[in-house]
Amino acid sequence: MIKAMVTGGSKGLGAAIVNHLIDRDIEVTDVSRSGNSSLKGNDLYNHQQVDMTSLSESMNFLRSWTEEQSDLTKLYLIQNAGTVQPMETVGNMDPSAIETAIALNYTAPAAWANLAFKLAEERGFELVVVNITSGAADKPNHGWSVYGSTKAALNLFTETAALEQGEQGHTIISYSPSIMDTGMQEEIRSTDTSSFAAVQTFQQYKEQGKLRKPEEVGGVLVNILLDEKLVNGKLYHVNDYLPPTK
């Protein structure tokens, strides 16, 4: 049986991905803090509350969940959970916020991919890992030293894992969703310019209607996964599939 797991699937892009997968008759496990109340009761939706910043807790969950799936033939593991915090200049960041961001944005998805590859080999199911990335990984942004660097690190991890797998093993790709109308965008727009210099630009994105809906962006990813022949290690970008925002 084909199944999917989405981290941070209760809201924003994660929730949109979950909905699109369910619309395609795929059973989904949403690994998030709150779950999606609108989907509770749906036979294809499962919610698991897991602290993704706790490596031991999250790894134990992934291992035990996989062992319970006796009918699993293929797993789409979509690693969407992440944080844009701390949005602050170097020298002014809270060290604990740095630690949390690295744990959530890089350590957890890298460790989960590592374990998922091992479990897929042991239990004989096909694995597709999707790491949600960001354009912030491509260049420095004032106030985003941690966010951008963790996403850049995850991109290189994805490319390296795909290189090791080649075309005969499991598949791991990145997906860049560009700018969307989500809670993360609200966080960005509410930041002080001294902490994030480009805040006015992001406020203008909202005012000018340049933010795509997560439902649209999530639909693109699900169509890629289910309808295209995936290229191992590729960074898929939503802008290659949708017309530019006006």
Gyration radius of the chain over CA positions: 18
Catalytic choice (45, 147, 175, 236): 147
Residue carrying the six token digits 């797993």: 75
Would you state the structure tokens that stand for residue 200, as one six-digit string? Answer: 């006015």
Both tokens assigned to 223: 């169509």
Cα separation, 152 vs 172, in Å, equals 15
Q: Is 205 a catalytic residue?
A: no
Q: Which residues contact 64 (CB under 8 A, 6 or more apart)?
A: none
Residue where the block lists tokens 């496990």:
29
| CB-based contact 211:185 (threshold 8 Å) | yes
Cα angle value 66/76/38 (rounded, 5°): 90
Report the catalytic residues.
Answer: 147
